[in-house]
Amino acid sequence: MQKRAIFGGTSLPYLLLLPQLFVVAVFFYWPASQAVWQSFLLQDAFGLNTSFIWFENYSELFADAGYYRTMMTTGVFAVLVAGLSLSLALLLAVQADKSIRGAGVYKTLLIWPYAVAPAVAGVLWIFMFQPSLGVVAQGIRAMGWSWNPLLNGNDALTLVVLASTWKQISYNFLFFLAGLQSIPRAVIEAAAIDGASPTRRFWTIILPLLSPTVFFLIVVNIVYVFFDTFGIIDAMTQGGPSKATETLVYKVFFDGRLGGNLGSSAAQSVILMIMVVGLTAVQFRFIERRVAY
């Protein structure tokens, strides 16, 4: 059976693509090229003195031990947030997929946090965990643990990881639930009749059939952790204490906008862009092979 429609000539397809290409060029390629150009310049904040310095911005970054530390922090942060939010969301989705009383309310409540803006989420969490005034922090202290995200880097990192995870669970939950509901009941029921336990059904039937969703969410979550957690970090820790919660994207903001060092900031965003493009490419190349569509 022939599925494809064949058009004669090449002008019509290109014409149809044109609006999309225009949008991509204006909103992605043009700003990206500006960033690449800026990363080769040394310029004061006002743009009065500009000189072309080739790769000096890059070489300075790679000579800076702090930059590697920020990369490490970002890596740890990414693995923790993506891992936690994916596994928790999957657990919640599998539970919600069962026929339980009040499933509608349960689902709605789980989706709510997604509607909260990252900065607001950050402020919410700060209110709970602020060492001297926060309700939760007082509880933790009452139990005899010392809790001080203002000075203790691990406490601060835990805090931003928790807030970022909480924020992302809803999104993942939504997709997992949709994925679960599209799995044919007959397959699962057949396995159940054959005597497969719920755990076995999950690992051998549900998860493989869910793999396209898992793959998609891994890609989206990595992008989320790299870029969208900025608001949470800015509201909660501003990258502190002593850079313990500074991720790559926060450093771009800090050096460029607050520090006025546009060249280095641009160089960092180019590196970040390459990293995320590379990471996504790797995911498509290697993980997608194991996905059964």
Could you list the residues that contact other proteins (CB under 8 A)? 42-49, 51, 132-133, 150-153, 238, 240-243, 254-255, 257-261
**Amino acid, single-letter form, for residue 287:** I
* Complex with other proteins: residue 180 or 244, whichever CB lies closer: 244
Of the two residues 10 and 132, which places its CB atom closer to other proteins in the complex? 132
Nearer to other proteins, 190 or 258 (CB): 258
> Which H/E stretch holds residue 4?
none
* Identity of the residue, 140 or 196, whose beta carbon is nearer to other proteins in the bound complex: 140
Q: How far is the CB of 70 from other proteins (least distance, A)?
A: 12
Give the CA diameter of the chain. 76
The one-letter code for the residue type at 125 is: W
Q: How far is the CB of 29 from other proteins (least distance, A)?
A: 22
Residue 291 has what DSSP assignment? -
The nearest distance, CB 241 to other proteins, in angstroms, is: 4
Q: Are 270 and 35 in contact (CB under 8 A)?
A: yes
CB nearer to other proteins: pick between 172 and 237: 237
From the CB of residue 285, how many other CB atoms can be counted at a distance below 10 Å?
9
- In the complex, minimum distance from the CB of residue 142 to other proteins, in angstroms, rounded to a whole number: 12
- What is the smallest separation between the CB atom of 265 and other proteins, expressed in angstroms? 11
Q: Which of 231, 31, 218 is nearest to 125 (CA)?
A: 231
Six-digit token string for 40: 């080769």
Distance CA 120, CA 103 (A): 27
